[in-house]
């Protein structure tokens, strides 16, 4: 079993797609170990996305991620990182495969409904950023 970190981003929460996304997560065989509705501050978003600080999109990304509530989760499944990234689809919803979350719920590269860890090290950092060990079931 492997763990990954996932976010249902503010655009999807605002559009009331969270329930459908959670249903797809469970139907895809993930076990939700921890889940919280959270409204990130700008500082919290900057800390989470610190790896992108030098990128030109950093400011707009952190503005967006602190614009409203999101749902943060720790998911578990065999090969969870790859499995979650496949379910999410390509970062750009226009290039995402049919049936993926971003194709169905994303509007653009920036407003793409979901986030997921890209490697075991990233997952460990991201899970730890939002959840203490005893919060994970």
By three-state DSSP, how is residue 5 classified?
A: strand
The angle at the Cα of 68, spanning 19 to 107, to the nearest 5 degrees, equals 65
Strand partners, 104: none
Single out the catalytic residue among 17, 39, 52, 115.
115
Q: Are 13 and 69 in contact (CB under 8 A)?
A: yes
User: What does residue 133 show for φ and ψ, rounded to 5 degrees?
Assistant: -50, -40
By three-state DSSP, how is residue 81 classified?
A: helix
To the query of whether residue 52 is one of the catalytic residues in this protein, the response is no
> Would you please indicate which residues are annotated as catalytic (active-site) residues?
115
């Amino acid at each position: 079993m492997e763990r990954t970190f996932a976010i249902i981003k503010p655009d999807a929460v605002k559009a009331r797609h969270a329930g459908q996304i959670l249903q797809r997560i469970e139907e895809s065989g993930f076990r939700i170990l921890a889940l919280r509705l959270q409204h990130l501050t700008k500082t919290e978003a900057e800390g989470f996305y610190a790896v992108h600080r030098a990128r030109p999109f950093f400011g707009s990304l952190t503005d967006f991620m602190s614009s409203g509530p999101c749902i943060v989760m720790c998911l578990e499944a065999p090969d969870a990182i790859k499995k979650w990234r496949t379910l999410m689809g390509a970062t750009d919803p226009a290039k995402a495969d049919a049936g993926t979350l971003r194709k169905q719920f994303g509007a653009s590269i920036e407003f793409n409904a979901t986030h997921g860890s890209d490697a075991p090290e990233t997952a460990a950092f991201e899970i730890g950023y939002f959840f203490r060990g005893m919060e994970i079931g």
